Amino acid sequence: MRIAALFNDVWLDEAWTIEMLTRLDAPIQHLTVYQHPTNHFLNTVVLGFFRPLLPDYVYRLPAAIAGIVSLIIFGLVAERQCRRFAAGPCILYVVSLVCIVLGTEARGYGFVLLCGLGALLSLDALLEREDWRFIGAYWVCAALGFLAHPSFIVFFSSLVAWSILADLTGRISRWVEILLKYHLVPLGFALLVHLRFYRFIPPELALEGDSLLRTAVAAASISVGGPDDGSLFDGAISLARILAAAVACAGVSEIAFLAASGSRYVMLYFLGIVVMPVVWSFTPFFPAPGLEYFLMPTVLGYLLLGSFLSRIASYGLVGRTVAALLLSLVCLGNISRYQEFLEFGRGRMRRAFEYLVANSRGPEVSIAGSEDQGNEILVSYYRSRIDSPKPIIYRGASESARNSSEWYIERSPVLKPEPDREIALADGSVFTLEKVFRRSSISGTNLYVYHRAGGRGR
């Protein structure tokens, strides 16, 4: 599935990075010019080595390779933390649609998975036996994690707090030693990256998102194969809340088991899944947390839930039956959505532009839209990648330019139950809804295509 996920259409955030790279004159402009939330720095630098106009899947290969390697690292983490219960977490992580989709996009989340799990594995080994090789590996993984995506700070802060609080009976001098010896270098690097790069991203460019609770519900539901609370309708939203509540109950139960057995991983799960995501949501760094914000908390959740299911299976025939049933439901929920993802992907962008070209009545394909900057990037990306006998022009510089366009496009991350059937511009021009090119859930763009009223009949 991770290989299959390479081959659907590139969507806006991926196209933004790839297209911007063709407009930069020097690599240093990754830091100085390309100041936008879509600039996930490590991903941008890696893609900078690729020449323009390669097949779409090539741009996703680095992230996909990182995501596939993360399967091995996750297995090692699960073996260390869950011991004889490691099979459950591994199955959940392997089939996870959210890790498949986000981990194979040209946006950097594959690197987040790899670096986050690498940092966790290194720090876990380091807390058992101090070794400079483990310290070096932890520093490298943490540094690359910060470059991969700014939300890595949420997971990193969980690691820092866990390493200090894992032994509450320890001396304060030992806590200070851990902080200085293990975490000072990554913290300094994080501060450098923020001051030299992330702080220059204008806050008004942050995308609108749902509330933290709604996004958390969606993340919990999707992690076990349920619906996306942010993109489906009322009945599905209720199901998402039920699934999220069930996930929370199972997690709390397993934390209680681990606490009773004296496991040192209790604080890691509590901090990484609950505390730090909530704490950081109140800071100005993440004004609109999306599903990606919960990517590493979801990975920790698989360790916790998988251990819970495997623990149930240790209680005789009844326990094995219940665990097998629950695990089968989670796997079936994820696998049943593979077909939808393979059909719709992250949005059928290429098909949308081919439709515009095939159905334009004039000598050119003239397009306007609801948000000029992103639409212009998307049009520019696909303009050079589809066969068109007519020039494809995006008219967005002024109201008069928009009024002269034949097509109007509107993007939305949410599939609307009742989209606008008409859009009227200031001069009285009316566009009627012609076609909807939808995406599967989790990631991507739904594209609504409107045609000028009075033009070609439907």
Q: Tokens 């510089």: give the residue.
A: 397
**Mode of pairing for the β-strands spanning 430-437 and 446-452:** antiparallel
- Report the half-sphere exposure of 418 (CA within 13 A, side-chain side): 0
Q: How far apart are CA 232 and CA 274, in angstroms?
A: 25
Distance of CA 276 to the CA centre of its chain: 18
Written as tens digits, the pLDDT of the chain (458 aa) is 999 999 999 999 999 999 988 888 776 777 777 777 888 889 999 998 888 888 999 999 999 999 999 999 999 999 999 888 899 999 999 999 999 999 999 999 999 999 999 999 999 999 998 899 999 999 999 999 999 998 899 999 999 999 998 766 668 888 888 899 999 999 999 888 877 777 666 554 444 456 788 889 989 999 999 987 644 445 555 788 889 999 999 999 999 999 999 898 999 999 999 999 999 988 877 767 788 899 999 999 999 999 999 889 988 999 999 999 999 999 999 999 999 999 999 999 999 999 999 999 989 999 999 888 899 999 999 999 999 999 999 988 666 667 789 999 999 888 888 899 999 887 788 999 999 999 987 889 999 999 998 654 33
Q: Number of helices and strands (H, E) in the chain?
A: 21, 6
Contact 71, 103 (CB under 8 A): no
Q: How far apart are CA 99 and CA 296, in angstroms?
A: 10
pLDDT of residue 458: 33
Contact 41, 207 (CB under 8 A): no
Contact 442, 97 (CB under 8 A): yes
DSSP string, 326-358: HHHHHHHHHHTTHHHHHHHTT--HHHHHHHHHH
Contact 374, 16 (CB under 8 A): yes
Contact 337, 440 (CB under 8 A): yes
The pTM for the full model equals 0.92
Q: Which two tokens stand for residue 18?
A: 């790839």
Give me the amino acid identity at 33.
Answer: V
Q: How far apart are CA 150 and CA 146, in angstroms?
A: 6
Contact 334, 255 (CB under 8 A): no
331: how many CB neighbours lie within 10 A of its CB?
17
